[in-house]
Every structure is written in C-alpha cells, then in structure tokens.
Amino acid sequence: MTTLAQVCWSLPQLPGALTALASRMDWPAASSSITTPPANHAQTADFGAWLDWAARRLGIDADETETAIAELEPVLRQAGPALVRYLDGGESRFVVLLAGGRPGKLNALGPDLRKHRLDVSQLRDALCTEQERALTPEVDALLHHAGIAAARVARTRKALLNERLAARTVAGIWLFRLPPETDFMRQMRDHGLFRRTLATLAVFAALYLLEIAGWWLIGRGALQGRLDPGWLSAWGLVLAALIVLRLLGGWLGGTLAIRGVMLLKRRLLAGALQMPSETIRSQGVGQLLGRMMESAALEFLAVNGAITVPIACLELLLAAVVLHSGAGGWLHVALLAVCCVVAIRLGRRLLRCLRNWTGTRLELAHDLIEQMVGHRTRLAQHAPESRHDREDQLLARYLPVSREFDAAVAAINGLLPRGWLLLGIAGFVPAIIGGGADALQLAIGLGGVLLGYRAIAEISANLPGFAQAVVAWRQIAPIFNAAGPTEVPSTFHTPARHQDSAKPSAVILEARELMFHYRPQGAAVLNGCGLKLAHGDRVLLKGSSGSGKSTLAALLCGLRQPDSGLLLLHGLDKAAWGVQAWRRTVAAAPQFHENYIFSAPFAFNLLMGRRWPPTWEDLQEAEQVCLGLGLGDLLERMPAGLMQMVGETGWRLSHGERSRVFLARTLLQEAHVIILDESFGALDPETLGQCLTYVMQRAPALVVIAHP
C-alpha cells in the first residue's frame, strides 16, 4: 500500500513538482521556469501568493479552497489536479493530486514522477491531525469521566472526534484550473464539451433510426395484416429503447448546455474585468449593462436550443432520406429543399430586423440608465416640459422597429411548419393521380412528411432565439475577446509590507522623463516628468486644473502605462514586478467623484484593498485607522459597528465620512507609497488637521495632490 511519505514533496521540491504536473497536464505555459517558494513558508499568505504566481507562470489558476472536515473526503476525490499541504512534525509537506481515482483512492504524483494510488483516508487524517490533537485531551477526559470500557475507548474516541471535527474547516487545498482567458477551444476540450456534443448527436441519430424502425415494424405489420405478438413485442421493445434514448439525449444535452454556459460566463466575467479602463469609460454604464444583458440571450439559447437546432437539422436530413423512399420520391425531396430555402430567407430577414431592434433597444437602455443616474440633476436643472423629449424620440424610433421584428417572428412561426404540411400533401398528388404508388410507399411518404414537419416546427420555434444569440454575440464579442493572458513576472516578489520599505532614505519610487498622451495625435499631457520618492518623504503635488496631476498619479500607481520614460519601484520596472504586485505596493485614492462606497459591510469598504474576508488583526487595524481619522464616533453610532451595511442600500455616509473611508481604505492597503488625489477637500479645518497628521504618521512615503 502506498504511504503518504512515499508521495509527499518538501517545500524546496515544489517547483519540480509543479513543473512535472504542468508537463503531464499539458498546461498552456508548462515549460516556464519557476523559482523556489519563500523559506518562511509558515506565513500562509506568502505561500498562497507564491503558489498563485507559480501557477500563473505555468498558465493555470490556483484556487485555494477551505472545506468542512465532514466534506473533506469527497472534496479530495474531486480535487485533482490539486496541491494539498499538511503539517508533519511542524514541517509543511505537500501532495500533488492528479485527476481521477478509484472509490476510496486518490491519484497522487510522487517525487519519482510516477502515479501512485493513495488511500483518501490517509490524506484526510494528515490534514486533521493538528485539530484532532488539540481536541484529544478534552475527549479523553470525557471518556474517562463516562467510564468507557478500555476495549471500546479507541473506537469511541474516534467517533467523538469525528463528530466534534465535522463542522470545522481545513484549508491548504489548492485546485488547479485553466484560467478563463485560456484559448476557448482548449477549455471546451478539457471540459469534454466536444465529446458530449458528438455523444448527444449520436444518441439522437440512433433515436431517429429507431423511430423509423418502429414505424416500419408497426406499418409493415398492419399493412400485411401480420400484427402477431412477436411483431408487437418487437415494437414494444423499440418504444422502450426510444424512451431510454430520449432520456439519455436530454440529460447529455442539458449537461452540455450547463457546462457551456458556465465556461462562457467565466470568460465574460474575466473579459469584463480585463477590459481597458478607457474602453469602459468611453462606453458608459448603460451600454455596458445592455451588453451584459445581451449575454442572457446567449445563455438562453445554450440552455434551450443550442443543441436542438443541430438535432432538428439532423432530423431534416433523415426526413429527406425517408421522403425519397416514399411515394413522392424526388418531388418530395425538392419540396423540402424549397421549404429550407424559404426558411433561410426568412431567417436572414429575421436577423436583419433583430439587429435593428437590438440596436434601438440598447440605445433605449443606455439612455434610461443615464436618465436614472442623472435624475437629481435633471429634476433641478431640466425644464419639466422638455424632460421626456428624448425618451419620446427614442420610443418613436423603437416602436416600428419592434413591430417589424414581431412580424418576422410571426412569419417564421406561422408560415414555415404549416407551409411544409401543405407542400408535403401536394407532393403526393402526382403519385396518387398516376396511381403508381402502393400503400406502403404512401405510408413511408407520410412518415417522411411528419418527420419533416416536426423538424421544421422545432427549427422555427428556436430560430428567433438562435438569431438573438447571433446578434448578442456581436455585442458581447468585445468583452469575450478582452480576456487575454496577463503578463506574469519571471521572479516572485513577496507581497509588500510597511516594514519591508522601512530603510530610511531608501528610494522607493523613481520616475524619469515620463511622457504620456491620452490620444496618439493629441498633445502630451505629461512630458519629461520626473520624481524620486524615498522612505519618509512627504510630497505635495500642486498645479493648475488639467495640468496632469491625476494622470501622473495613475502612471505611478500602475493604472496607466507611460508612453516613454522610466518608472522604477525599488529599482525594478513594472514588467519585473507584475501589475498586481506593483499596485499592491503603490496605493492611490482616486478623486472623490471616481471613488465609491459599495453596498457592503463598512469593514469591507475599509479592507477591500487588503483582503476579504478579513483576519481578526485586519479588523482591529481597520478600527484603529478609523479612530485615527476621527471616525470613532460614526463607528459607535452605527448599530452593527464595523459590520454595518453601508452604501446605496445601507447607512448613508456623509460627504466628509466618505472621504475619510477612502483615506482609510488606502492606508489599510499596506503599501509602500500612498498617493492621495484631492482627498481632503470635503473636510472641515479641524478634521482636516487631524486626518493629515494621522496620514503623515502612517504613510511610509506620501504624495498629496491638492490645491492648497
């Protein structure tokens, strides 16, 4: 039996373990090199940050999961590929899990680079050892007190420990998953979508063939007067098989849709988060919201019709084969082809109408949101009689377009299936008049017409949804394509902490000859701009409105990239740091109108730049910072204190309170450089004095943008 010691890896061996796993799994950047994790691995956050970096170097995501001990075994069985950390005599040990496994067994990659089967209970016990050890004296005391017989002590102790531990959680399991920005085909392949599509189509093809066989059995038996028990039982068997196949096809199609939608949603979310801020700004909330609503059309199609339309096309092909062998022969096939041509033309018309309708609808949605956001301004400044002029104009444009779209849908739903029935019946006329067809051929022809009717009815019902998805795709493709691989620095940097930068006079941030344009042809907003910031520096940046102060702040904190010039943080550029580490080290509070209080607990609004959920120490520090910024009174007044819901739907903070939350949020980021962009404007002189003193005490290096 494989023991845990045979498959475990030590901390220095981890880079080797991960690269071996990467090449085994064919991860997108499997050949990238990774450095050894920080020696001080007891700090979980540091190790997590290293693993996150190492996984991203190899082209994968590492998601840490925390699981209840009661659920641990099933979670471990489903986890691979994954990394599990446990403690052995105070030392961290790691197990690399591969996908798959048998009941009760895990597939683990050992240091000999071979696959081993490991009992899941061994790993579970190793993960729970520490917690079990802490509980054992208490449980033993209970057993002693209850006078449990010596022979039963071990079993009872185990049962009691299991019960006590069930609700506790275990951390240290990292699941490796392809990131949503990976090539979509690769993701579909890895999630088995191609295999499932083929299996679904194969099941439906078998289903239709069986259906035809069923007709053939019953039709031939009836026409030849041979409906004996043997024929009937064969027909019954075919019907039973049809039910099973239909259930199987439905299940396959359903799971295919759910997996497809999940992948699509992850990708869209990743794309939305990676969209350049300039694109987001230039499109406005309304348009973007409209686009995201469009994605619902794609989802609806995936769940309801993505597989139905191809299956209906398959059915149509079968109908053509059956019709060809029936009384109508080639005439029926030709009539079916005519029906398909009409369907294509109607489909194209529908697509055109839908594009117009969607464009107008999105414009309407965008306008509505603009009106809602600016409602108070409109109430105060817009003459009441002309307040709804624009809405009226948009509605006047929307109504005819909407009517045209409805007519196109009605034409497809009403005309196509019924039209085919008429054509199908007309296709029998020459055979009946000529008298060349026997009853069997007529029956086959009729079966073909009905099969074609079912397929055409299915296509017509799903065509509007299909067209909607095509149009929606044009809307959301930019979001889908915005998700791309992010640059991962070649070396790992331990997350920033105040004390790391605390060497007096050490230069933290240096900018030389920075140049920046918002538009390639426009004038430079910054030209030849330089700055040197050392630990303990306090810099006031002032200048006329529009002179580029906020732009410089955006360059320094890594929100924007300079067109030319040199920007170094602790002597390294942004490529070496990676965007995330850079932005953790240089924190900026945007101007008031660009900052936001989220509808969430007050503590979330304070600590969102550090981590969430918070540790106990985070909450204590957040409270201290609030006291330092004069928010202690507010904390006392809010019934739930730090956990009070604030924002649009919660406790409404005053202008000055908001500005101090923005200050606290930035200070709590543990950055080396703090940049405050006009953060004190809303404060009365006394509070301003208190906040400025506190910020000066706390910030390792400070840049204040202000109009003093």
**Crossing angle of helices 229-274 and 193-223, rounded to 10°:** 160
User: According to CB under 6 A, which residues from 69 to 128 bind ligand ATP?
Assistant: none
- Number of Cβ within 10 Å of residue 368's Cβ equals 15
**Of the ranges 79-87, 135-143, 546-554, 665-673, which one interacts with ligand ATP (CB under 6 A)?**
546-554
Assigned token pair, 177:
């998953």
Q: Does 676 engage in binding with ligand ATP (CB under 6 A)?
A: no
CB 660 to ligand ATP: min, Å: 20
Q: Which one, 437 or 673, has the nearer CB to ligand ATP?
A: 673
Give the residue with the Cβ less far from ligand ATP, 187 or 551.
551
Euclidean distance between CA atoms 259 and 226, whole angstroms: 48
d(CA 557, CA 570): 13
Q: How far is the CB of 651 from ligand ATP (least distance, A)?
A: 29
Measured from the CB of residue 279, what is the shortest distance to ligand ATP in angstroms? 11
How many whole angstroms separate alpha carbon 204 and alpha carbon 163? 48
Choose between 462 and 551: whose C-beta lies nearer to ligand ATP: 551
Q: Give the CB-side neighbour count of residue 112, counting CA atoms within 13 A.
A: 7
- Select from 434, 546, 613, 708 the one that contacts ligand ATP (CB under 6 A): 546
Distances (CA, A) of 292 to 260, 265, 289, 364, 565: 17, 10, 5, 15, 38
Asked if 550 interacts with ligand ATP (CB under 6 A), we say: yes
Identify which of residues 6 and 591 has a Cβ nearer to ligand ATP in the complex: 591
Distance, CA of 317 to CA of 452 (rounded, Å):
9
The distance of closest approach from Cβ of residue 551 to ligand ATP in the complex, given in angstroms and rounded to an integer, is: 3
Residue 67 as a binder of ligand ATP (CB under 6 A): the answer is no
Beta-strand relationship, 82-88 and 169-177: antiparallel
Give dist(CA 478, CA 102) in Å, integer: 43
Sketch the per residue contact string, 394 through 413, with ligand ATP: x for CB under 6 A, - otherwise. --------------------
Tell me which stretch binds ligand ATP (CB under 6 A): 181-189, 230-238, 255-263, 548-556: 548-556
3-class DSSP state of 642: helix
Least CB distance to ligand ATP at residue 595 (A): 13
Among 253, 305, 548, 630, binds ligand ATP (CB under 6 A): 548
Q: Which two tokens stand for residue 207?
A: 């289903």
In which element (H, E) is residue 542 found? none
Q: Which is nearer to ligand ATP, 122 or 551 (CB)?
A: 551
Cβ proximity to ligand ATP, 254 vs 543, nearer residue: 543
Phi, psi dihedral angles at 470 (to 5 degrees): -65, -45
Residue with tokens 């009070």: 644
Which residue, 435 or 522, is less far from ligand ATP as judged by CB? 522
Binding of ligand ATP at residue 279 (CB under 6 A)?
A: no
Q: State the burial class of residue 256 (Cβ atoms within 10 Å of its Cβ: 0-12, 13-18, 19+).
A: buried
Question: How far apart (Å, rounded) are the C-alpha atoms in residues 135 and 153?
Answer: 15
Say whether residue 381 binds ligand ATP (CB under 6 A): no
Residues 286 and 366: beta-carbon distance below 8 Å: yes
Within residues 479-518, the interface with ligand ATP by CB under 6 A covers 518
Query: Residue 14 or 526: which CB sits closer to ligand ATP?
Result: 526
Residue 117: beta bridge partners?
Answer: 107
Q: By C-alpha distance, which of 95, 104, 124 is closest to 21?
A: 95
CA R_g for the chain:
34
The residue (of 434 and 546) whose beta carbon lies closer to ligand ATP is: 546
Strands (E) in 570-613, as ranges, are 586-589
Nearer to ligand ATP, 85 or 549 (CB): 549
Check binding of 549 to ligand ATP (CB under 6 A). Answer: yes
Residue 590 sits in the site that holds ligand ATP (CB under 6 A):
no
Total binding residues toward ligand ATP, as defined by CB under 6 A: 10
User: Which window, 195-203, 257-265, 460-468, 549-557, contacts ligand ATP (CB under 6 A)?
Assistant: 549-557
Give, as ranges, the residues between 511 and 540 that touch ligand ATP (CB under 6 A): 518, 525
Question: Looking at beta carbons only, is 550 or 659 nearer to ligand ATP?
Answer: 550
**Least distance CB 661 / ligand ATP (angstroms):** 20
551 touches ligand ATP by CB under 6 A: yes
Residue 543 lies near ligand ATP (rule: CB under 6 A): yes
Smallest gap from Cβ 519 to ligand ATP, in A, equals: 6
The minimum distance between CB 476 and ligand ATP, in angstroms, equals 24
Alpha-carbon distances, residue 302 vs 232, 296, 506 (angstroms): 39, 10, 57
- ∠ CA 330-336-340 to the nearest 5 degrees? 140
Q: How far is the CB of 267 from ligand ATP (least distance, A)?
A: 27
Which neighbouring-strand residues pair with 514?
A: 529
The sign one gets for the Cα dihedral 395, 399, 400, 401 is positive
Decide if residue 547 touches ligand ATP (CB under 6 A): yes
Judged by beta carbon, residue 258 or residue 285, the one nearer ligand ATP is 285
Cβ nearer to ligand ATP, comparing 219 with 565: 565
The pair of structure tokens assigned to 610 is 């550090």
CB 517, min distance to ligand ATP, A: 9
- Does the protein bind ligand ATP through residue 545 (CB under 6 A)? yes
CB nearer ligand ATP, residue 529 or residue 661: 529
Measure the CA–CA gap between 270 and 178, rounded to whole angstroms.
Answer: 12
Residue 482 C-beta: closest distance to ligand ATP, Å: 18
Which residues in 105-198 belong to E strands, given as ranges? Answer: 105-109, 115-119, 169-177
* Interstrand relation of 673-677 and 701-705 (parallel, antiparallel or unpaired): parallel
Residues that bind ligand ATP (CB under 6 A): 518, 525, 543, 545-551
